[in-house]
Structure 1
């Protein structure tokens, strides 16, 4: 997710819960027993993580003879303006922001002068989560073809310094502001693009394809599940509370066994605001809503985003949106049973009994890990049946509580664990709309900014979560768990799954569900990797599997391929100074879950985030997104090219100052940096990574 829009110094969680140290002390544990309790699966596994948790060796998946877990030569860190991949690999940028989505759309203008109406028919900005859906043999419906299919790409936000061109002549200031807001809204959402692999391995968009389309901030969508129709979701334009226009802040993604795409709304809060001087309500404050938001002034140009006029509109965002790639007439569905918070991604797993489990993280400092367990069971005999398509509408949302010896999932069910009218939760729908406050009430464990979740395809019940960083952990004052304290008051103490004070580098957490069942309610955990600088000791020491050749910080995107490799993407500090020396630009690494070995596979261009990844079924193409090349993040010294961050006005006047990617890689005339997808393949045609 975007570091710029996330506002690193912001916290919306005023609550705190007892640390694992306090729990261990209350249980009378001391000495070696206390250290074991704080370590989950065992603190002794922390440095090398060589045994894969319980010592299980990952068996190779079906693949080519001789395929290795990490069969590539790692690339060095770099600070240039290229996508670097290992020797023997190719990287092709495709579908950059502004690419026409169909044959009728106008081309991208190098000065970013496309209108709002034109942007509605072009690829959006800041590519994030993505997935590949292959066609069947006839090229009409869903199947397993690796040479032709649909790419679904999230568009998280826009960079105003690059996104807007020269003002059209004759427009008043008010008209220009409205036009820019409409164009920005058109740049959000997602793209569905028909693509085809060429004989040389390169990929090409299929022009004029029937299924290619854009979803944006004004696309009609349905609210589904227990909260649909709730009073908190009703507006003057939608008195039934079941229809909503658009999706916002679409970050990570997921896919279901019945062939749909899950697009996750994350930082929706900054698009709303109000003009008066009132304070935010407790519910608004808990979700980070404020009078000015991101400062984009959407509420001044589009009344729908003015919370004084439409106080419930913001409640209609912050959901997981289900999209059918192969049915352009089907309305996308916001699945309220999965809860409302700042969703990063949605990792879908089937329990052995057929129940659908969805792992999710709320991406903000001191927020929580969640898990949804469906009520119904998946029928593999008819994957795209109506019954399967409704599995996300009924079930139970849970939140993680880490405690001595492991942890458990607490159900967020109305009437249980204090989720009652006496505490402000009047019905099941309100629990889901106010999922953050419900998690506060039941005593969930605040985490170091949860990002992506990834389930191991070869080890049942083993799940990983990237905790990107938290520079303000290490407090010792406990606040009441009521969700009503002042925003920013909490500074949780260090604990087992969040072991470092002022965690500037982040880490990767791993847990094993009881009995290897995704629907289990108890788990044990350990730490797979603590990012950071080798040579630094004490409480800030990184894992022993980090060395000079694979330095990284702020793990973000996380996913397994079918062979069992864990792929790690970063969205961190690329200043290459101080704590971040020699880490280079943001990158993607591959890890062996059994041995703990980590190798750098890809380095992105200047100022970018590497985010989103998907494979063709044959694993011969890996798709990766490069988001916000050339972005200047808040805070001093993030980028090695300049001594100080340039003013956005300078970037607007000199758009190639920080990056000219992808033109810097393709050889096209430079215009301005553009987010894009990258196709990566081996020159010998083998599976990527092996």
Structure 2
């Protein structure tokens, strides 16, 4: 009887990626923003005035449309492909003249004994196979080659109903977990889920026929939810990192919910821990702000801690996800375990024996990713990161020590200043330092030390007066101009009174892209000027940089992934929730997609559409730009619990037939061998 499983239903807030409800910092009215920033003649020319005209009521709409002339289309020299149409098919679609190859699907063996994929695989097998739910990635060429290198990619989370053969026939939705009839979890299943998280490092090679393949190599490596990690920076050794596993507060185990990534100027990879709160539970009312501000409470999504009762001598690896104080000292329980997550993790892809390092000076929040400004000899290292939750913030880190290529390493990220962005109503902005004694960060508010600030970075940014954003996600920096771009995916909870600045729409379901120029074109500057680059939406509500309505060739919603190639094409990827795809306002969008934009003209074209239920994420080319890699995450994630119980899945990609859907990397090349997108 105890071998049977029943559904452990996820709280709807987890499936919807909602954060704890709080009152955001008040924002100026958007009409006032426009009036202050744009003279009447500029509004009448079009541009952002037209975007406002279609979205914000008859008063401004009548004024703008009375004399507005939409600028004529500018033919882009960057975009040399014909856009693909919206698709709802369970397949990958590319422009004419391009081809697609599937590479490294979930479960592909990459190391160890190379166990073949199957739902029967054990947790130990999964530790030597490709992880699940591919996300951000980078291609590290070997000796500058565009035909061989290390592909390093994140695995954001796992979908338990697809991982375990025993789940067949049980009514499980994508965020549900299989429970034993006594309400506990099976440790073997949880171990497999832990090992499906983390990062994969894989050597790949392009053959003479143009087909890419995995190379069995000693550099191939899995980093999982159990891999030993070290802490560096101001929090290393802090009492609030001390646990039964590491009484000194210097070590941790595993990295979880890695979304986007970063690549350092010295050639290492940064994995970014995003929705780590979903893994922890804290019972009772005495919850510190370092947990409550992040949503850790009496319920979590994956319930790994419930496997401890069945795990015998291995119970510790599961019990650590219960952050409730259970003993007299943090050295005897895991009340501090959640403090070990929410960081940026540095790893060396070329040294499989190296220990990943969590860089605490970059702040603790739901890191979507990290984007570095171009490193310059003798100047500080500068990087940006977004906190992927509604009403959260965009951050910048500036190192104390200057960059020198001959000696640069990760220690540059252990000493500097973390800032949070404030977007002003006149189109300017400023960086608010998150440091003791400035911008209201004082002991009486809980921020006596730098460690206090970094442990509760969100709370510090609240006090410092940063601007709450519409889910800031990926960032990208134009290699030609140095302008910084960030996607703001959506925020349906924003009210009319809260709308303003770079977050102009109430009930924002479509999202937007903001860009800014740092003062003096110095990324370490303390001020900037901003503008909206793109408003997501359909042909009625979406607008491009010139104020033109989006068309069937480029309408989009929920911009997420963002990346510039070396020729300055801006690649934009979408992540409409698998629960919302092709529903309500998202019905015109079809499946998630990738588009390319010209940052000068603002022209946007749809380049790719993905299979049913999937997110499109991760983007990088080979150095010669003739191959582009992108990731397909959670195909079939839109399958309902009822349909899953009936064996009726929304997707069987990439194998087709009746196969279980699998996240994978797709390799896109041109038939004529030319540059992608040109």
**TM-score category, normalised to shorter length:** 0.7 to 0.9
CA contact (8 A) 1:587 1:602 kept: yes
Q: Aligned partners of 1:453, 1:614: CA distance in 2, in Å? A: 14
Distance 1:115 1:300, change over 3 A: closer
| Number of equivalenced pairs | 612
Instruction: Provide the residue aligned with 2:162 in structure 1.
Output: 162
Instruction: Provide the residue aligned with 1:614 in structure 2.
Output: 620
Matched, 1:80 2:105: no
Q: CA deviation at 1:299?
A: 4.9
Distance 1:172 1:401, change over 3 A: closer
Q: Aligned partners of 1:541, 1:565: CA distance in 2, in Å? A: 15
Instruction: Provide the residue aligned with 2:513 in structure 1.
Output: 508
C-alpha distance after superposition, 1:567-598 (max 9, x if no partner): 00000156434422321100000000100100
- Superposed, 1:141-540 pairs within 5 Å as 144-166=144-166, 177-207=186-216, 209-274=217-282, 276-278=283-285, 280-301=287-308, 302-308=318-324, 309-350=333-374, 352=376, 353-380=378-405, 382=406, 385=407, 387-405=408-426, 406-460=428-482, 462-474=483-495, 476=497, 493-536=498-541
- Superposed, 1:11-50 pairs within 5 Å as 11-12=19-20, 14-21=22-29, 32-33=35-36, 44-45=47-48, 47=50
- Which residue, out of 571, 581, 587, partners 2:587? 581
Matched, 1:8 2:9: no
Q: Aligned partners of 1:210, 1:540: CA distance in 2, in Å? A: 47
Instruction: Provide the residue aligned with 1:559 in structure 2.
Output: 563
Distance 1:518 1:11, change over 3 A: same
Q: CA deviation at 1:5?
A: 8.2
CA contact (8 A) 1:228 1:242 kept: yes
Q: Give the CA RMSD over aligned residues.
A: 2.9
Q: Aligned partners of 2:39, 2:445: CA distance in 1, in Å? A: 36
Distance 1:604 1:522, change over 3 A: same
CA contact (8 A) 2:544 2:550 kept: no
SS at match of 2:409: helix
C-alpha distance after superposition, 1:314-341 (max 9, x if no partner): 0100001111010111111111110000
Q: Aligned partners of 1:299, 1:231: CA distance in 2, in Å? A: 26
Q: Aligned partners of 2:659, 2:341: CA distance in 1, in Å? A: 34
CA contact (8 A) 1:271 1:299 kept: no
CA contact (8 A) 2:20 2:293 kept: yes
Matched, 1:135 2:139: no
Q: Aligned partners of 2:374, 2:581: CA distance in 1, in Å? A: 41
CA contact (8 A) 1:80 1:605 kept: yes
CA contact (8 A) 1:532 1:541 kept: no
CA contact (8 A) 1:351 1:517 kept: no
- Which residue, out of 648, 655, 661, partners 2:653? 661
With the length of structure 2 as denominator, give the TM-score of the two structures: 0.85
Segments of 5+ residues of structure 1 without an aligned counterpart are 50-66, 137-143, 477-492, 633-644
Matched, 1:89 2:93: no
With the length of structure 1 as denominator, give the TM-score of the two structures: 0.84
Distance 1:437 1:527, change over 3 A: same
Distance 1:588 1:511, change over 3 A: same
Q: CA deviation at 1:240?
A: 1.4
Instruction: Provide the residue aligned with 2:644 in structure 1.
Output: 651
Instruction: Provide the residue aligned with 2:174 in structure 1.
Output: none
Q: Aligned partners of 1:204, 1:670: CA distance in 2, in Å? A: 25
Q: Aligned partners of 2:585, 2:544: CA distance in 1, in Å? A: 11
C-alpha distance after superposition, 1:220-253 (max 9, x if no partner): 1111111111121111221111111100000001
Q: CA deviation at 1:548?
A: 2.1
Matched, 1:673 2:670: no
User: Relative contact order (C-alpha < 8 Å, sep 6+): which is higher?
Assistant: 1
CA contact (8 A) 2:304 2:321 kept: no
Q: CA deviation at 1:172?
A: 8.5
Q: CA deviation at 1:173?
A: 6.9
Q: Aligned partners of 1:212, 1:540: CA distance in 2, in Å? A: 42
CA contact (8 A) 1:155 1:251 kept: yes
SS at match of 2:505: coil
Segments of 5+ residues of structure 2 without an aligned counterpart are 1-10, 53-75, 169-178, 309-317, 325-332
